[in-house]
Chain A
């Protein structure tokens, strides 16, 4: 008997995708001076829309607009008024949530159930949460008079295009800064719809500017001398480069980089719950998540049975059309990313790990990969050390909690970790010993604007969300300085304009 679900596709018409999109500078959608770029629907490997991109010259204009808006309007406005704009934007996102979910799914390839139930509502929540901080900054625990920095330059990745945009813009504006932000070149559409919402909210021109393009535009932005603060989310390699480039400038920098999160399962764990958490940890958003639980550490005594049960569960995941409401795993964001994942999978097999993939059928068009699990991996293999950023899980075993800690912490990264055990003291003890910024005990992939998020070690520095996330956008109670003035170059120059 065929128990398969009937297809339940969301209508792509809801997205109202236009043929061509423009960058958003000084409150207007304007032609960029860069070459046009096609954005691809990864679910079908076909062109979705064309986007006008920007150049260093356009970045200059955007930074100048942000500076003007900062000086003339935004820095003079009360926190309460700033907050009201953020509340308006939160409402705007909620009102256009269905459209945004479809746009995001078409442009990114992630399943509609994720954009609909996670990305878009959480994006709105970020604006709503931070709106309330705008008039309460003196209560943050950062001294009596935290002050805005000026203009923030932000670069965001393609894995959560709308959520990352909200996650970056909302705290920056709440703290009183203005923003120039660059989305990834493969996923520019949802932030440009957000720009419409921002414009409809009557946000003063120049407070938020969106420049489109590839890495060269990002580089022009983060190295621009008119920027007071840089926030980057993306690969560790690029993060290192930005830190190097900003050396000596005194500009505030936060980096949210890669990860190789460990999911640690003890023999007393509730196994069915653990399996659901592990599946979510590595197959949510096709594993294209910096905090993905990409390393599974299972206690040796249950390893064989547990991985068999895990494979049974993964076999039931439905890979396919991202617009189908029944789809669990959608499309990889780009052909290039699919190639990178396949290279690492090949390396894992070549290095001797046992490769298993789900037998689920894959669509004939589009960038898809079957959920993949490596067993018998060793900590030195590339698949255990390098971020794969795809639906590929690497399994290792351990005997004692100490061994689990040492294996989990044996990574240059330190962004996330999961612990599965029914013993509370062990869960808390492991959480204390893990060198990672976010620890999920008996759950995984929980996010909230009220809870700070960010990495240890080479997963970056600085936090996003909660009071510590706002600290990254504020001048705080730094120590006294001889002469009484601080060297805030960009802002000081700006102040004399």
Chain B
């Protein structure tokens, strides 16, 4: 008897678990030829709120983890992604029609991107902070810190590299992320969630919603517990509405200037967009090694 394949059900990725949408809704995902691939969860406003709650929990441990540890975890994501290379090549080819060679290049670039960011975690402070030479008897330093929970609208078009390129800088800085996957490529996004779930990334640090950005994103943009917003994958109209909604809570908003070329060098703007700079001052007593010293 022929083997009947077991087709996969794609669910959301929230707080380290893979729940269905609380709304019970799904939408069909089709490949480049229009054939049915799978049903994906059609995330709702409530799923968005749950994702923010999970991200808030997740950011605690992640932001306090040592930069060395965060770097190792992000490198681990690269390792796990590399291990599933064949699966992603097939998935990308099926869903976008890319040749196996082009899909392979995309997976390799995504792995490289993660490796790049893995090396950033313990250099951010040196590059964007440091001791301040203030004119007074004070020790003053400035250091970057994560801004908190960042909502990300992932770009369409390059389902894996685009997603990794917007996600990696957010978590590299110690933030947690609520990502709305590109509507047409939920399968790649949730398969990446499987990679993340097995990469020592603490639960809640990355949360992935599938569905319609236009439906979910406005609630994230107006959410009081979301600190930042990356609008890379939002179209012009949606961008405007989201930027306006973000103003209500003075959110940090990143909007790329033009269409990002994810195959190019990533720069640091995405990293800096979701870092706060904290300046700490402390008095310095005078210490003399000569006799009669004061302290």
Given A441-B281, A446-B281, A487-B257, also A468-B142 (CB < 8 A): yes
Contacts of B282 in A (CB 8 A): 427, 441-443
CB of B127 within 8 A of CB of A141, answer: yes
CB of B267 within 8 A of CB of A448, answer: no
**CB closest residue in chain A, given B241:** A247
Given A443-B283, A463-B277, A468-B277, also A481-B250 (CB < 8 A): no
CB of A476 within 8 A of CB of B268, answer: yes
Which of the candidate stretches B132-140, B199-207, B286-294 sits at the interface with the other chain? B132-140
CB of A479 within 8 A of CB of B260, answer: yes
Residue in contact with A448 in the complex, picked from B135, B258, B259, CB distance below 8 Å: B135
Given A243-B250, A437-B277, A479-B269, also A250-B260 (CB < 8 A): no
**CB closest residue in chain A, given B64:** A432
Contacts of B236 in A (CB 8 A): 248
Contacts of A471 in B (CB 8 A): 272
Given A446-B140, A479-B264, also A456-B276 (CB < 8 A): yes
Interface residues of A in 476-497 (CB under 8 A from B): 476-483, 485-488
Least CB distance, B111 to chain A, in whole angstroms: 18
Verify if A143 is at the interface (C-beta below 8 Å from B).
yes
Given A142-B268, A436-B278, A466-B142, also A486-B133 (CB < 8 A): no
Given A240-B248, A448-B136, A452-B142, also A488-B257 (CB < 8 A): yes
In Å, the complex CA distance between A456 and B250 comes to: 10
Verify if A461 is at the interface (C-beta below 8 Å from B).
yes
In Å, the complex CA distance between A468 and B271 comes to: 13
Verify if A72 is at the interface (C-beta below 8 Å from B).
no
Residue in contact with B261 in the complex, picked from A141, A236, A481, A488, CB distance below 8 Å: A481
CB of A478 within 8 A of CB of B134, answer: no
Verify if B243 is at the interface (C-beta below 8 Å from A).
yes
Least CB distance, B66 to chain A, in whole angstroms: 13
In Å, the complex CA distance between A431 and B264 comes to: 38
Given A439-B279, A443-B281, A466-B132, also A250-B257 (CB < 8 A): yes
**CB closest residue in chain A, given B144:** A468
CB of B259 within 8 A of CB of A483, answer: yes
Verify if A457 is at the interface (C-beta below 8 Å from B).
yes
Verify if B255 is at the interface (C-beta below 8 Å from A).
yes
Least CB distance, A119 to chain B, in whole angstroms: 15
Given A479-B256, A487-B258, also A248-B240 (CB < 8 A): yes
**CB closest residue in chain A, given B236:** A248
Contacts of B258 in A (CB 8 A): 481-483, 485-487
Given A481-B258, A482-B259, A486-B258, also A247-B243 (CB < 8 A): yes
Verify if B21 is at the interface (C-beta below 8 Å from A).
no
Verify if B70 is at the interface (C-beta below 8 Å from A).
no
CB of A250 within 8 A of CB of B132, answer: no
In Å, the complex CA distance between A439 and B134 comes to: 15
Could you give, for residues 47-82 of chain A, a 1 whenever the CB lies within 8 Å of some chain B CB and a 0 otherwise?
000000000000000000000000000000000000
CB of B243 within 8 A of CB of A248, answer: yes
Contacts of A221 in B (CB 8 A): none
Given A439-B281, A479-B265, also A457-B136 (CB < 8 A): no
Verify if A423 is at the interface (C-beta below 8 Å from B).
no
Given A250-B255, A483-B259, also A437-B247 (CB < 8 A): no
The number of residues on chain A lying at the interface, defined by a beta carbon within 8 Å of a beta carbon of chain B, is: 56
Residue in contact with B250 in the complex, picked from A255, A436, A488, CB distance below 8 Å: A255
CB of B280 within 8 A of CB of A480, answer: no
In Å, the complex CA distance between A43 and B247 comes to: 37
Given A448-B140, A478-B269, A479-B260, also A247-B247 (CB < 8 A): yes
CB of B247 within 8 A of CB of A480, answer: no
**CB closest residue in chain B, given A239:** B250
Could you give, for residues 138-158 of chain A, a 1 whenever the CB lies within 8 Å of some chain B CB and a 0 otherwise?
000111000000000000000
**CB closest residue in chain A, given B227:** A457
Verify if B27 is at the interface (C-beta below 8 Å from A).
no
In Å, the complex CA distance between A440 and B139 comes to: 10
Given A143-B267, A446-B140, also A453-B260 (CB < 8 A): no
CB of A257 within 8 A of CB of B250, answer: yes
Least CB distance, B180 to chain A, in whole angstroms: 19
Verify if A287 is at the interface (C-beta below 8 Å from B).
no
Verify if B56 is at the interface (C-beta below 8 Å from A).
no
Contacts of B248 in A (CB 8 A): 240, 244
In Å, the complex CA distance between A486 and B255 comes to: 12
Verify if A451 is at the interface (C-beta below 8 Å from B).
yes
Verify if B244 is at the interface (C-beta below 8 Å from A).
yes
Contacts of B280 in A (CB 8 A): 431, 438-441
Residue in contact with B268 in the complex, picked from A440, A477, A488, CB distance below 8 Å: A477
In Å, the complex CA distance between A477 and B128 comes to: 13
CB of A486 within 8 A of CB of B257, answer: yes
In Å, the complex CA distance between A454 and B256 comes to: 23
**CB closest residue in chain A, given B165:** A479
Verify if B104 is at the interface (C-beta below 8 Å from A).
no
Verify if B14 is at the interface (C-beta below 8 Å from A).
no
Contacts of B261 in A (CB 8 A): 479-482
Given A448-B140, A468-B128, also A481-B279 (CB < 8 A): no
CB of A438 within 8 A of CB of B250, answer: no
Least CB distance, A233 to chain B, in whole angstroms: 13
Contacts of A486 in B (CB 8 A): 257-258
Highest count of chain A CB atoms <10 Å: which of B134, B264, B266, B277: B277
Verify if A17 is at the interface (C-beta below 8 Å from B).
no
Least CB distance, A214 to chain B, in whole angstroms: 22
Contacts of B142 in A (CB 8 A): 451-452, 466, 468
Verify if A125 is at the interface (C-beta below 8 Å from B).
yes
Verify if B176 is at the interface (C-beta below 8 Å from A).
no
CB of A446 within 8 A of CB of B134, answer: yes
Contacts of B268 in A (CB 8 A): 142-143, 476-477
Verify if B103 is at the interface (C-beta below 8 Å from A).
no
In Å, the complex CA distance between A142 and B138 comes to: 27
Interface residues of B in 112-154 (CB under 8 A from A): 127-128, 132-136, 138, 140, 142, 147
Least CB distance, B150 to chain A, in whole angstroms: 13
Residue in contact with A457 in the complex, picked from B135, B243, B250, B270, CB distance below 8 Å: B250
CB of B281 within 8 A of CB of A461, answer: no
**CB closest residue in chain B, given A440:** B281
Least CB distance, B257 to chain A, in whole angstroms: 4
Least CB distance, A51 to chain B, in whole angstroms: 31
CB of A478 within 8 A of CB of B278, answer: no
**CB closest residue in chain B, given A414:** B276
CB of B243 within 8 A of CB of A476, answer: no
Contacts of A448 in B (CB 8 A): 132, 134-136, 140
Least CB distance, B142 to chain A, in whole angstroms: 5
Task: Give me 6 A-to-B residue pairs in the complex whose CB atoms sit less than 8 angstroms apart, sorted by A's number.
Answer: A247-B246, A446-B136, A446-B281, A480-B260, A481-B261, A487-B257
Query: Given A240-B248, A448-B135, A479-B260, 5 other A-B contacts at CB below 8 A?
Result: A431-B278, A438-B281, A442-B282, A452-B277, A479-B266
- 9 closest cross-chain pairs (CB), A and B: A480-B264, A247-B243, A243-B247, A481-B258, A448-B134, A451-B132, A244-B247, A248-B240, A486-B257
- Give the interface of B toward A (CB within 8 A): 127-128, 132-136, 138, 140, 142, 147, 227, 236, 239-240, 243-244, 246-250, 252, 255-270, 272, 276-283
